[in-house]
Chain A
Amino acid sequence: MTSQKSQNKITLLGLMREDLSHRKWMVVLSSFVQLLFGPVAALLVFSNMEAQSFYYYGDEMILNKQKAIQYAVEEMTQSYLPAMMIIIAIVGAMIVGIGGYRHLFNRRMTDMVNSVPVTRGKQFDSIYYNNWLIWFVPQLVSTIITTFIMLARAASYGYAPAILKSAFFVLIGSAFCFACMMHLVILAVVLSGTIFNALLNVAFLGFDLLLAYGLVVVFCQDCFYTFVDLPISLSQICWVSAPLSGGYLGAIIAAGVSVDSPAGFAAEFGSVSAFYLVLVATIIVAIVNLILAYSLYIKRKSEESESGVSNKTYRLCIRCINSVLCGLTVAELFTELFYLNEKAQTFWQIVFSAVFCVIAFGLLDMIHTRSFKGFFSHWKQMIAIALITEAILVTFIYDLTGFDKRIISESSIETAWVCTSIYGMGSDGSGYAKDPENEGFLVEKYMLGDYDENDMSFEIPADVAYDIITAQRAVWKNETFYIYNPITRSSELLPESEIDYPAEYFDLNVQRRNGWEFRREYPVYDREVMEEIIALPGFMESSYPFRTGELGCPESIRISGVNGDKEVPAEMVEAVFEASVEDFKENYSLDYIQMRDFQYVYCLECQYYISNPRGGENSYWVYTMNMYIPEEDARTAGLLDELGFDELRHSPEDDYYYDYYDEYYEYF
């Protein structure tokens, strides 16, 4: 009997061979794509780089060939291969995930597959392993060939370790990404009876949580004036969103960042340990997806094929969640797309969110049941979900949770930090500078206007924190400024004469005695409280970004004024910024930092000149920030005058009044 059984037994390998014979086109496609975007691309990149080095440098070809090889290696290992292999892994996972289990979309094929003497578990396994083979073997071959090509060209210049390391991490990173994506796709496929539903489920399972997170952030930002940020970051929320986290983390691993420069992803995740935490969480999610897919596959009824989505619990969840999300998204679009006054906007938000919630609910029901009659088949649920959507919307719009009105007691505050919202006297823009240690590469650096808010936090006493929370606020509501008293919870109209810039925004971060964090931004209107805060010893140094030492080494700065533009010599660049900082320190007062509607003697648009080390043709200016120099900044204005910029200077008598905020609003 035993021998009979073993004789009849179909081996997993045999099953895989049989499955693979019906998926030859996938093998061919995978091989073609991997070879095209691996070895062929490597050959092209190296050839082009070498050709360019010859073209640009003529007699110095040998020296610059080395340079060209360096760029080619860096282009391939740090940018092209990590990105391209992740894209291929994601697309590949979609194709093999859906293609491998395609029999679930066809009833006759399901019958045939399930009627043969093979357990469902074995069927699942054989397809799953083949999915890996179809993608991984060509990937491995492609990586080996690509590595050999790169080594042949660049090993003699000492790039062998970098190339080998890159090949290893590209394989690991793309495998990680492939697994995350494929497990999600298989789960979506197993839950679906048609390919259309499978694709929809991939989108729902992969992006719903992210959409919900985005909507919550957007609604909080739109509706709550004290809102700063959610306690969970976007990176953290990606943990359970496999397509994004898989792709994102896969790309980071593929680039080998984790080994070389932990600081690179520390900026994204907060710390190196947070990165590994996200990595582990993503792996857990991927494994859970696979386990779910496997168990659902084994229990899946044959009649579920061609039936849309049969799992009633899943169907209900997806229908309800996506209807709410659809309703809220449409409501948000009204705030973004149409310039309506606040009352009209609220009205149309409520109407259209309900309408689109109902439409989404009905459509999903139709798609899941594959019947036009399905639209109103759950009309009671439909009404309930529309009401829930409205309740969520109204809760946000009218702040029914009392988010902005909340006052915590002074005694509950253990420690508190604050930072102001006026950053460096009108400096603006993100900083790009030449990194002196990596000639030729642009790296992001903190500039005057691009600071780390954690560095700027200043610890304040609990009573000052409580003063901020309970101080009168200037609140913009229904196109009017109100003064809101959080103690009495009463509002009154702001006098016309004080409408311009009535508040100072203080970003308050409180650690409470119960261990909870409390972070809000208060538009403090109370002058006494503002002065109390800015007078705190050390507040100015902590709260304003004086970072002249981190400017990098720009070759020159072009300053565009009202009357023209001119370049600041490299050696004077630091001096201009230092003078500006000194002026700020000297003039530091509440009136000064709140001064916005003043006349500038210089309106400077600063740009760094970035030169291409391979030649002058690709050198360019990089916009960095705007600086507005008022008369009060006598030191800066004087220095610019001395440097010969006086022709760009304009006087208060000129008609030109440069109001930063007016310009800002006009521009948008």
Chain B
Amino acid sequence: MIEIKGISKKYDDIEALSDVSFGMPEGQVFGLVGTNGAGKSTLLRCICGVCKPDAGEILVDGEPVYENPVAKQKIFFISDDQYYFPGSTPEDMMNYYASMYPASFSKERFEKLMGALSLDKKRRIQTYSKGMKKQLSILLGISSGCKYILCDETFDGLDPVVRQAIKRLFIHDMDEYGITPVIASHNLRELEDICEFVGLLHKGGVILSKDLGDMKLEIFKVQVVFKDQASLDAVRANCKVIAEEHRGSLITLTIRGLRTEVETVITSQLPIFYEVLPLTLEEIFISETEVLGYDFAEITK
């Protein structure tokens, strides 16, 4: 398990992370979502030991990670723009990472996966397309045999077929080798398909970190038509309404709380019509960040 305990990180005067604490359970795909500049990449860079937090600590399976090769042996960092040596081929990079992860890197697996994705290991990487470079970085990460694979915007630039293949690969390796992919992305629909656990970052802080299933049980959307304003006021008074939208008499409410309790409150007002809808991860994200003032509704006014 990766434990993040009150870490903070500043770049000069810019606060990238502020007292961030949460845990990443092993054996699950962890999705790291956040607004632009929320500190996702910084957090990943701290977890893999590239950056040293100004405060707090990060433990990987109980061991601090910074400058600790034992802990770092368990982590492979796939950056959003992976570096490859000038003029190198995938084979060169394979040899490099094989020497850096001598105990766990599997050259056979790498070559097999390269073949499966029709990538030429003798071809210079600089001639690869952006998507092919992404594929290569993922294959290097997978072949490293590390327990934790940190992926920063990894699915960007991959075509849908490869994206699905990579997802299947992650799922397979989770089952087979017990890896824990940590995926930072803006593409919430993508994450929703694969993630079981989600951490939500905004302005350097964690808004929430939960099991995606639990998260969806605690926040949902209700489309309702009331007879009068008093009924709406009663719902507002008894439920934690995060967002509200009116379209004629149809009111859409985003409510945080247990579904049974919310339904009890709504039905007690005898609505003309009501329907409880599950929220997508994207909707949860928007709702949660709107509450914190991350809203650009004014842009069109």
Contact = CB atoms under 8 A, between A and B. Distances in A.
Interface string B156-185: 000000000000000000000000000000
A310 to B, nearest CB: 9
A21 B93 CA distance: 12
Given A115-B77, A117-B100, A8 B69 contact: yes
A18 B105 CA distance: 15
Given A117-B69, A117-B72, A111 B83 contact: yes
B72 to A, nearest CB: 4
A313 to B, nearest CB: 15
B52 A18 contact: no
A119 B67 contact: yes
A588 to B, nearest CB: 75
Interface string A566-591: 00000000000000000000000000
Interface string B33-58: 00000000000010011111000000
Interface string B97-125: 10111111000000000000000000000
Given A109-B83, A302-B45, A118 B50 contact: no
Interface residues of A, number: 28
A111 B99 contact: no
B73 interface: yes
A430 B83 CA distance: 61
B67 A18 contact: no
Interface residues of B, number: 30
Given A114-B50, A117-B72, A8 B103 contact: yes
B98 to A, nearest CB: 10
A35 B99 CA distance: 32
A15 to B, nearest CB: 8
Given A8-B73, A9-B69, A22-B85, A115 B50 contact: yes
A116 to B, nearest CB: 4
Main secondary structure of the interface of A (DSSP, over half): helix
B82 interface: yes
A5 B70 CA distance: 7
Contacts of A115: 48-50, 72, 75-77, 79
B69 A108 contact: no
A531 B77 CA distance: 87
Contacts of B296: none
A152 interface: no
A14 B97 CA distance: 12
A513 interface: no
B97 to A, nearest CB: 8
A10 B102 contact: yes
Contacts of B294: none
B83 A117 contact: no
A112 B102 contact: no
A120 B72 contact: no
B196 to A, nearest CB: 25
Contacts of B73: 8, 117
B128 interface: no
Interface in A106-136: 106, 108-112, 114-120
B79 A108 contact: yes
A378 interface: no
B101 A108 contact: no
A301 B52 contact: yes
A14 B100 CA distance: 9
B45 A111 contact: yes
B273 interface: no
A106 B49 contact: no
A618 interface: no
Given A8-B103, A10-B99, A114 B49 contact: yes
Interface string A3-23: 011011110001101100110
A10 B81 contact: no
Given A18-B99, A22-B85, A118-B100, A8 B67 contact: no
A114 B77 CA distance: 10
Given A108-B83, A303-B11, A14 B99 contact: yes
A108 B72 CA distance: 18
Nearest to A303: B11
Contacts of B76: 115
Contacts of A14: 99, 102
A119 B52 CA distance: 13
Contact of B101 (A5, A15, A117): A117
B49 A10 contact: no
A336 B76 CA distance: 62
Contacts of B52: 301
Interface in A1-59: 4-5, 7-10, 14-15, 17-18, 21-22
B107 to A, nearest CB: 15
- Most chain B CB within a 10 A radius of its CB, from A15, A116, A301, A303: A116
A110 B77 CA distance: 12
7 contacts: A7-B103, A18-B100, A111-B50, A114-B49, A115-B72, A116-B72, A119-B67
Nearest first, the 4 A-B pairs at minimum CB distance are A117-B72, A108-B83, A117-B69, A116-B100
Given A117-B72, A118-B69, A302-B50, 14 more contacts: A8-B103, A9-B69, A10-B69, A14-B102, A18-B96, A22-B85, A108-B81, A109-B83, A112-B83, A115-B48, A116-B72, A117-B75, A301-B51, A303-B11
